[in-house]
Structure 1
Amino acid sequence: MTGGHVPVPARRGLLYAAAAGAAAAFTSAPEASAAPRPGTSWTTSWATAQTAPTADDPLASAGLTDGLCTARLRLSAGGRLRLRYAHGFGTAPVLVGPVTADGRPVTFGGRPQEWLAAGASLTSDPVAGLRVPDGSLLTVETRLSGPTGPLSFHRNTHAWHLVDGVRTRSVLLLTGVETTGARGPVVAVLGDSIAEGTGTPDDGDLRWPDQLARRLPGSAVANLGISGNRLLLDSDRFGPGAQARFDRDVLALPGLRTVVVHLGVNDLHHLPVERDAGRMVAAYRQLALRARSAGLRVVGATIAPFEGWKRWTPEQDAVRHRVNEAVRTGRVFDAVADVDAALRDPDRPSRLLPAFDSGDGLHPGPSGHAAIAAAVERGHLR
């Protein structure tokens, strides 16, 4: 959620044509729904959401020639697995492979290499001879012969990876690990830098979606947080807004059953600042409608306080209160995770409880992430 916001013209048709606390308060009763049968369907056990590189992202902007990308990924649900690559912001195809997962060869239609078309996705065959337990750490090595040109990527996974032996927090092209072992809720988190993990240590696996997965053994949790991402507007650096990326990032996931919408604070403090609570609530309603139309349950999170952040104002906090009240009482979502109630300081409700604050007033630390995970109850997930 750091950095300035630059609106960009709508270009969604081109980009998306390839992809048709500790305390909590909830509203709405949970719907009965059977859990997935392990081994019978694919669900997303690890995920990132992509953006296009900018001039401030030299690695992804320049692309690779005979490059080797090594990603270390913390899974949620285990089982058999396959990999998913995507190039949603690409302008030219990229040859992917050879690829290994924990040292085992990965194939695409039986071949060690396959072309990933610009704007498209590419899913591997199931990896022969490999089954992984819940919560395991998977190492994926991907050779990109190139020259690739600019690469679609996720800027900061809050974990360390390698590209040609150089450490980076970014993941290039790889967007998902799908497994067959989910026996609990199957969840996607549409979020911003809080879900992405800002405020938690790199390689700590302490982001709230990680902690939710550990609370619910056998659950498949896809973290689609993008730092700086907004509900209403797009940005060159922080990617398409939640409404623009919903179909590709959320609805394209296999076996998904619930989506948690956890963003909106960037609309309040990034320029141009959103002052109309009604516009934000209307956007939430549209996301909920699209989720339900796809047969998904949708859980909404209230916006946490952020007094102490460098761009906080009392006027922004007033808009936040109006948005949160509408989310709590307006039947926007099927259930509400009251993140505001879970994280706020009861003595000063416009700020985070000091024990939950990472130090910047906006991003919770690890204990704050644990409080968010506790606010998302199993009974409100499928």
Structure 2
Amino acid sequence: MSITNRSFLRRRALPTLTAAAAVAALLTTNLAHSAPAPRTSPVVTWAASTDLLGPAAAQDRTYRLVVHTSAGGSGLRIRLSNAYGNQPVTFGRAYAGLRSSGAALVPGSNRRLSFAGSATVTVPPRGRVYSDPLLGTVRPQSDLAVSLYVQQAGGPVTGHKMALQTSYIAPTGDHSADESATAYTTRTNSWFYLDATVVDARRGTGAVVTLGDSITDGASSTADTNRRWPEVLSRALQNDPRTRIKGVANEGISGNRVLTDGAGQSALRRLDRDVLSQRGLRTVVLLEGVNDIKATPAPTAAELIAGYRQIIARSHAAGVCVVGATVMPYEGWRQWTPSGEAVRLEVNSFIRDSGAFDAVADFDTAIKDPAAPTRILSAYDSGDHLHPNDTGMRVMGSAVAPEHLRCSKR
């Protein structure tokens, strides 16, 4: 795995040619050299939904954030978000490199990022900014380390709380250019300020965004192993030559709901920012609803379905397909009730049978116990009866058919 801007050209001896053949060969060579380079298009290769991490930002510290790519390509850029801030955040420098192990980087891979040509950028309250493209290529399924020196900050902190990925903090000073782990003495399980990375992939390459709650966020999957169901899907797409969908962005927030704010803004409120803004987006897989259903007071099935219809309509207006994922069983969880189960069944009937979605990912059927369909099959249950374990995550990721990620919206 490498970030590189070197081209390795292999020369070979040419056979002896007649004069006419030599001229023809020279013309062919010149034409080949003058042909335009293959065209590319931007596609998100990693993302995480933004949320409020805390009331007081720290400054004069460096975050080394470890993220795992999906699609490969050139021209890496990052997106920094101050969505929940009420004061500007100034990043003194930012670097991207290949993670070796822990906070250490592959020697020679750490590269300085720029923003409109400058090493420093200030992101205003509620704002976000992309870096300039970085020369070189990033391979798919790579561990990147994005190092951000926060020079000046105050007020609420924007980030993603449950990363299920260990990242690192250098508590004092600018250590963004360091390739060693020495200064990074503090570990964190959250991502700070970074909410997307983008590459230029082969033209026509697209991305899927998984919009969801803690199940999509990966709760109960093994940390630092990339076993969330969207990453299972990502690996399947990468290995499938029949599909051009290669980018996968995980926009799950633990505790998130469709209709009301709580753990993060509702899916309806954050749809534009977290989902429809992603580069190369072709399809959304929507797995939300269980937190609405088990809330007090809970919405009716009709109210939840109306929320789904809004997400579908807004996505279709943006030229994006929507795959509806059925709400999975959760009997045994402390908030399960028979009335909630009735809502779940009615909602799932809508998802499967209404035709409102462009396709269906039937996670309910894939994960339930056939002998007790209100429960997760024990082999897939993390033990809390709501969140699947690693095996369940693998089953879920395998239940999304690549052909269902295509439609005719664009």
Give TM-score scaled by structure 1 length.
Answer: 0.85
Q: How many residues align?
A: 336
Aligned counterpart in structure 1 of residue 64 of structure 2, from 58, 61, 70: 70
Aligned counterpart in structure 1 of residue 391 of structure 2, from 361, 367, 374: 367
Q: Tell me which amino acid in the other structure corresponds to 1:137.
A: D
2:92 is equivalent to residue 92 of structure 1: no
CA distance in 2, matches of 1:272, 1:163: 40
Over 3 Å counting, the alpha-carbon distance change for 1:143 and 1:215 in structure 2 is: same
1:181 deviation in Å? 2.5
CA distance in 1, matches of 2:250, 2:92: 25
Q: Tell me which amino acid in the other structure corresponds to 2:212.
A: G
Partner of 2:367: 343
CA distance in 1, matches of 2:359, 2:346: 18
Partner of 2:46: 46
Partner of 2:254: 227
Partner of 2:220: 199
Aligned counterpart in structure 1 of residue 133 of structure 2, from 112, 121, 126: 126
1:327 deviation in Å? 1.1
CA distance in 1, matches of 2:73, 2:154: 32
Aligned counterpart in structure 2 of residue 138 of structure 1, from 131, 138, 144: 144
Structure 2: stretches of 5+ with no match in the other structure: 1-36, 98-109, 171-184, 239-244
Whether the 8 Å contact between 1:38 and 1:181 is mirrored in structure 2 is no
Bigger fraction of residues in strand? 2
1:185 deviation in Å? 4.5
Whether the 8 Å contact between 1:78 and 1:133 is mirrored in structure 2 is yes
2:283 is equivalent to residue 258 of structure 1: yes
Give TM-score scaled by structure 2 length.
Answer: 0.80
Whether the 8 Å contact between 1:309 and 1:362 is mirrored in structure 2 is yes
| Structure whose CA Rg is larger | 2
Whether the 8 Å contact between 1:69 and 1:162 is mirrored in structure 2 is yes
1:149 deviation in Å? 2.6
CA distance in 1, matches of 2:78, 2:328: 34
Higher relative contact order (CA 8 A, sep 6+): 1
1:271 deviation in Å? 3.0
Partner of 1:56: none
Partner of 2:104: none
CA distance in 1, matches of 2:194, 2:113: 13
Aligned runs of 1:102-181 on 2, under 5 Å?
Answer: 102=97, 103-128=110-135, 130-164=136-170, 165-181=185-201
Partner of 1:19: none
Structure 1: stretches of 5+ with no match in the other structure: 1-36, 54-59
For 1:115-140, what per-residue CA distance to the aligned partner results, in whole angstroms no more than 9, with x for missing partners?
Answer: 11111111000113x31111011011
2:265 is equivalent to residue 240 of structure 1: yes
For 1:316-345, what per-residue CA distance to the aligned partner results, in whole angstroms no more than 9, with x for missing partners?
Answer: 111100110111111121111111001000
- CA root-mean-square deviation: 1.5
For 1:72-94, what per-residue CA distance to the aligned partner results, in whole angstroms no more than 9, with x for missing partners?
Answer: 11100011211001111111111
Whether the 8 Å contact between 1:284 and 1:332 is mirrored in structure 2 is no
Partner of 2:180: none
Q: Tell me which amino acid in the other structure corresponds to 1:212.
A: L
Q: Tell me which amino acid in the other structure corresponds to 2:201.
A: G
Over 3 Å counting, the alpha-carbon distance change for 1:39 and 1:364 in structure 2 is: farther
CA distance in 2, matches of 1:332, 1:118: 37
Partner of 1:9: none
CA distance in 2, matches of 1:149, 1:163: 19
CA distance in 1, matches of 2:289, 2:60: 40
Whether the 8 Å contact between 1:64 and 1:145 is mirrored in structure 2 is no
Whether the 8 Å contact between 2:43 and 2:205 is mirrored in structure 1 is no
Tell me the SS of whatever aligns to 1:376.
coil
CA distance in 1, matches of 2:72, 2:41: 12
CA distance in 2, matches of 1:39, 1:69: 34
- The sequence identity of aligned pairs, in percent, is 40
